[in-house]
């Protein structure tokens, strides 16, 4: 057995390979337990900020990246048990293969660690949403997804800088200087992105709308579900999902329908020409009196004899309702429609329908 374990393959003994693969197999088999332990340790930093125990939710978020991180860190450690084979001592583009492999492993570990951080940011977003729900203001609900996007961009940029500079040993300053030379082309390529970024900042500072508001932008009407780093997302009345760049949201006229105090109704009711003058006056008077006696309705309501149509005497009825929610508004509007119809029928008049009288005269 000793002779077998002492046999060497690529400058390493069988015993060294046994320890190497044995440690990796044990870690792989217990990766779920180890990732859960790591997740619980990280979760303890956030426990005080949550209303309930969310350790299972947190572990579910970071399970995959944490498992890979543990395996890669273990592999990095166990590689120290092995000697780099002399047969592999070669250079690729003036760089040793051993150095290339070590930098590649370090890069993968850094990327996996970045993956873990991104999942932690997702969990922080969940906590922020919970805390935002405790307040009446919708502004914090709107800020949460924006903060999430900003944190992720920051983490990715820092990770990229560390990988390029500390691991791959690129001259980051030289790269930035090179970007300065091509700054004009970069600025032209990124102008839409920057315009959308400044648009999102303008939305947060000016606050023309918040998450949950119903807005109309151009031909699109919908409920604001998210104001992100680049765009605003609306859920339309047809339940479709529309994404509008923030630049357009700031450049266009945005009608915030949620902030209106009343809904306006304007209708034309046609009465038949059989209606007498007294009937017409009484109908107008009764409908107007109905509006005047309703204290919740503003004084801008009116009923007027508007015009003569081909087959009808037109009444223009305009009023405002304080019910801004669509369902309540339609219910109240229906009640008023019944009142108008009952008033017309009470005075013996009829709703007009299209008619045409043909007069035949003998020449």
Q: What is the pLDDT of residues 89-135, one digit of tens each?
A: 777 777 777 788 888 889 999 999 999 999 999 888 888 887 777 77
Nearest to 158 by CA among 103, 117, 101, 197: 117
Average pLDDT of the chain? 82
Task: Decide if 194-259 and 263-346 have a common fold.
Answer: no
pLDDT band at 294 (very low <50, low <70, confident <90, very high): confident
Burial class of residue 119 in the structure, from the number of CB atoms within 10 Å of its CB (0-12 exposed, 13-18 middle, 19+ buried): buried
**Domain positions in the chain:** 2-134, 194-259, 263-346
pLDDT band at 26 (very low <50, low <70, confident <90, very high): confident
CATH code of the domain occupying 263-346: 3.30.70.100
The model's pTM: 0.60
pLDDT of residue 139: 67
Question: Of the ranges 16-20, 236-240, 302-306, 316-320, which one carries the lowest mean pLDDT score?
Answer: 16-20
Q: How remote is the C-alpha of 101 from its chain's centroid?
A: 40
pLDDT in the model for residue 205: 75
Q: Which two tokens stand for residue 353?
A: 């329908």
| Per-residue confidence band for 319, with pLDDT thresholds at 50, 70 and 90 | very high
What is the model's pLDDT at position 258?
Answer: 82
128-176 pLDDT, tens digit each: 887 777 776 666 677 777 788 888 888 998 998 888 888 887 776 666 6
CATH class of the structural domain 194-259: mainly beta
Q: Note the pLDDT of residue 190.
A: 57
* pLDDT value for 189: 53
- Among the residue ranges 16-25, 134-143, 199-208, 230-239, the one predicted with the least confidence is 134-143
* pLDDT for residue 347: 93
DSSP line for 246-277 = HHHHHHSPEEEGGG-S-EEEEEEEEE-TT--H
How many residues can be counted in the chain?
363
pLDDT recorded at residue 355: 64
Helix/strand/coil for 121: helix
Residue 167 is predicted with a pLDDT of 83
How would residue 51 be classed by pLDDT, with cut points 50, 70 and 90?
low
Residue range 32-38: average pLDDT?
Answer: 83
Question: How far from 21 is each of 17, 63, 82, CA to CA, in Å?
Answer: 6, 23, 11
**CA-CA-CA-CA torsion for 268, 270, 271, 277, nearest 10 degrees?**
50
| Mean pLDDT along residues 27-47 | 82
Strands (E), the chain: 8-9, 12-13, 91-92, 95-96, 214-217, 220-227, 231-236, 241-245, 254-256, 263-271, 302-308, 313-321
Averaging pLDDT over each range in 14-23, 68-77, 106-115, 188-197, which range is the top one? 106-115
């Amino acid at each position: 057995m000793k002779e077998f374990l002492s046999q060497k393959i690529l400058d390493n003994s069988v015993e060294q390979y046994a320890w190497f693969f044995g440690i990796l197999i044990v870690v792989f088999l217990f990766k779920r337990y180890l990732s859960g332990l790591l997740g619980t340790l990280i979760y303890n930093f956030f426990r005080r900020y949550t209303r309930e125990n969310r350790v299972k939710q947190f572990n579910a978020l970071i399970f995959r990246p944490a498992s890979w991180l543990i395996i890669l860190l273990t592999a990095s450690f166990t590689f120290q048990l092995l000697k780099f084979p002399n047969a592999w001592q070669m250079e690729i583009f003036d760089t040793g293969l051993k150095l290339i492999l070590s930098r590649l492993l370090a890069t993968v570990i850094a990327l996996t660690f970045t993956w873990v951080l991104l999942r932690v940011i997702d969990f922080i977003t969940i906590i922020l949403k919970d805390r935002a729900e405790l307040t009446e203001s919708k502004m914090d609900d709107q800020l949460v997804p924006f903060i999430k996007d900003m944190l992720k961009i920051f983490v990715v940029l820092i990770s990229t800088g560390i990988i390029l500079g500390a691991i791959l040993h690129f001259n980051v300053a030289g790269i930035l200087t090179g970007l300065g030379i091509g700054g004009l082309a970069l600025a032209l390529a990124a102008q839409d992105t920057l315009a959308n970024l400044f648009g999102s900042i303008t939305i947060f500072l000016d606050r023309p709308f918040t998450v949950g508001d119903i807005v109309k932008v151009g031909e699109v009407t919908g409920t604001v579900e998210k104001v992100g780093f680049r765009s605003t997302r609306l859920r339309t009345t047809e339940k479709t999902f529309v994404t509008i760049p923030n630049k357009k949201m700031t450049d266009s006229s945005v009608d915030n329908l949620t902030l209106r105090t009343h809904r306006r109704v304007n209708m034309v009711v046609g009465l038949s020409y059989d209606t007498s003058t007294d009937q017409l006056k009484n109908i107008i008077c009764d409908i107007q009196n109905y509006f005047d006696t309703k204290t919740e309705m503003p004084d801008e309501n009116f009923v007027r004899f508007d015009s003569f149509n081909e087959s009808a005497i037109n009444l223009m009825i305009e009023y405002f309702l304080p019910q801004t929610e669509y369902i309540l508004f339609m219910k109240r509007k229906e009640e008023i429609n019944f009142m108008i119809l009952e008033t017309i029928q009470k005075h013996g008049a009829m709703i007009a329908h299209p008619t045409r009288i043909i007069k035949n005269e003998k020449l």
